[in-house]
């Protein structure tokens, strides 16, 4: 048996050394072999060969590979039709289960078996990233992405995730990934990172999965403060005055970063924030307020669209300010523009999207978690990224512990943006 296995691996190696145009076809043949095979050792070796071969494909050949997976491993229509007819005649539990299994495409079992390879989970996350990219050009691949999303959603549900606090004692390879994956406020150096994880009034927490234990899936950075902050500089400045954690009354979630594009749409952020809130409440009894200091990534693009819109959400005076800001004839950080900018941001944040709910993706995330849109701050983020996306506007979403479930139900059922009275006044301007 060992000799047969070694021969098969050698044959596979010869297959995959051919021209790039043949590799997609060769990999599909290996996939068929993987699905037919019964031996565990052979299956693991075949899965590893497929994942290794996929990594060697260029972008075009990966798209061809995905298309062939859809073509060769879709639902068995004959089996499904038989199962439907049986259930129609005998609508019982056994027939229902058979119908369920008949409706599952073999591509799902293929992904399961690929996951058995050493490092298979991480490789499949990377493969899905490539699939998502390919699906933007080839919509027929979206069904295959649903297979990936279904399985990854099961493998990465909350029950499998481990919450860890990341500090200066965390292994360097994990800290390096924190620097790499930070998506909101760039970590510019190891000293910058130290200020975020090693000082007493700062915390950093991440979710990890046992299959990829050194890879954070998502992480959140927390500042312990006296009051609700109105600018990111008050949190990130190296010259800020540290706060005694035991006397801090506010926990500020100022950066949340998803680490892997291949896990897009797999939700853990809501669990992360709620778990961190619970941990902080038990550790620091003086904490009373839990808020974010969040970017408004779609504000500037939306405001530009309102200038020529037939039914604009902005007044003529507000549109004139947008034109002046875009042409450089007005300064976003000028004191006289602070309130008008906050009013424009309020209009944007409460404006419903075509699908219902908030337009802004960050707003959708926090409102869906049960937070309330609390305050809007002009000039809060003067960084190039902040100015490019929102003229420096940032907002606070408050997680009021007694209201989270009610706010979540309100937003989920009606799409209404739950907001403070101050934001309501701004939005009416």
What length is written for the chain? 429
- DSSP letter at 127 equals H
In degrees and rounded to multiples of 5, residue 209 shows phi and psi of -120, 140
100 counts as catalytic: no
Tokens standing for 170? 């965390």
Residue 359: φ, ψ to 5°: -75, -40
Residue of 185, 260, 366, 377 marked active site: 366
Q: Are 376 and 295 in contact (CB under 8 A)?
A: no
Query: What are 260's two structure tokens?
Result: 């892997």
For CA atoms 47, 51, 57, 58, give the dihedral sign: positive
- 107, 294, 389, 390: the active-site residue: 294
Catalytic site includes residue 327? no
CA–chain centroid gap for 287, Å, is 28
Question: Each residue of 209-241: b (16+ CB within 10 Å) or e?
Answer: bebeeebbbbbbbbbbbeebbbbbebbbeeeee
Contacts of 110 (CB under 8 A, 6+ apart): 31, 34, 35, 69, 73
- Tokens 């073999």 map to which residue? 106
Annotated active-site positions, please? Answer: 294, 366
């Amino acid at each position: 048996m060992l000799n047969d296995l070694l021969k098969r691996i050698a044959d596979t190696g010869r297959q995959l050394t051919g021209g790039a145009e043949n590799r997609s076809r060769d990999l599909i043949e290996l996939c068929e072999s993987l699905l037919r095979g019964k031996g565990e050792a052979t299956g693991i070796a075949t899965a590893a060969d497929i994942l290794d071969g996929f990594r060697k494909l260029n972008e075009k050949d990966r798209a061809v590979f995905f298309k062939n997976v859809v073509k060769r491993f879709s639902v068995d229509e004959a089996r499904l039709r038989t199962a439907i007819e049986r259930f129609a005649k005998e609508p019982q539990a056994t027939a229902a289960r058979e119908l369920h299994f008949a409706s599952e495409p073999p591509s799902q079992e293929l992904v399961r078996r690929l996951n058995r390879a050493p490092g298979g989970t991480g490789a499949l996350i990377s493969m899905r990233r490539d699939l998502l990219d390919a699906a933007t050009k080839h919509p027929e691949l979206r069904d295959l992405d649903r297979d990936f999303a279904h399985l990854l959603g099961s493998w990465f549900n909350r029950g499998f995730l481990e919450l860890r606090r990341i500090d200066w004692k965390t292994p360097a390879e994990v800290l390096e990934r924190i620097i790499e994956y930070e998506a909101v406020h760039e970590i510019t150096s190891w000293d910058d990172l130290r200020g975020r994880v090693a000082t007493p009034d700062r915390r950093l927490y991440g979710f990890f999965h046992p299959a990829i234990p050194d890879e954070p899936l998502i992480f959140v950075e927390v500042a312990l403060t006296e009051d609700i902050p109105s600018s990111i500089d008050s949190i990130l400045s190296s010259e800020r005055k540290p706060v005694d954690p035991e006397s801090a009354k506010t926990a500020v979630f100022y950066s949340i970063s998803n680490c892997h594009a291949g896990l897009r749409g797999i939700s853990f952020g809501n669990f992360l924030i709620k778990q961190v809130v619970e941990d902080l409440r038990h550790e620091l009894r003086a904490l009373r307020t839990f808020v974010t200091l969040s970017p408004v990534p779609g504000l500037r693009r939306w405001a530009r669209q309102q200038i020529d819109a037939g039914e604009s959400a902005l007044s003529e005076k507000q549109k004139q300010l947008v034109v002046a800001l875009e042409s450089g004839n007005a300064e976003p950080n000028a004191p006289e523009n602070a309130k008008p900018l906050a009013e424009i941001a309020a209009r944007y944040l409460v404006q419903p999207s075509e699908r219902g709910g908030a337009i802004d993706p960050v707003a959708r995330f926090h409102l869906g978690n049960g937070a309330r849109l609390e305050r809007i701050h002009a000039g809060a983020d003067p960084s190039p990224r902040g100015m490019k996306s929102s003229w420096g506007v940032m907002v606070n979403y408050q997680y009021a512990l007694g209201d989270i479930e009610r706010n979540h139900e309100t937003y989920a059922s009606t799409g209404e943006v739950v907001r403070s009275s101050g934001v309501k006044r701004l939005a009416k301007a």
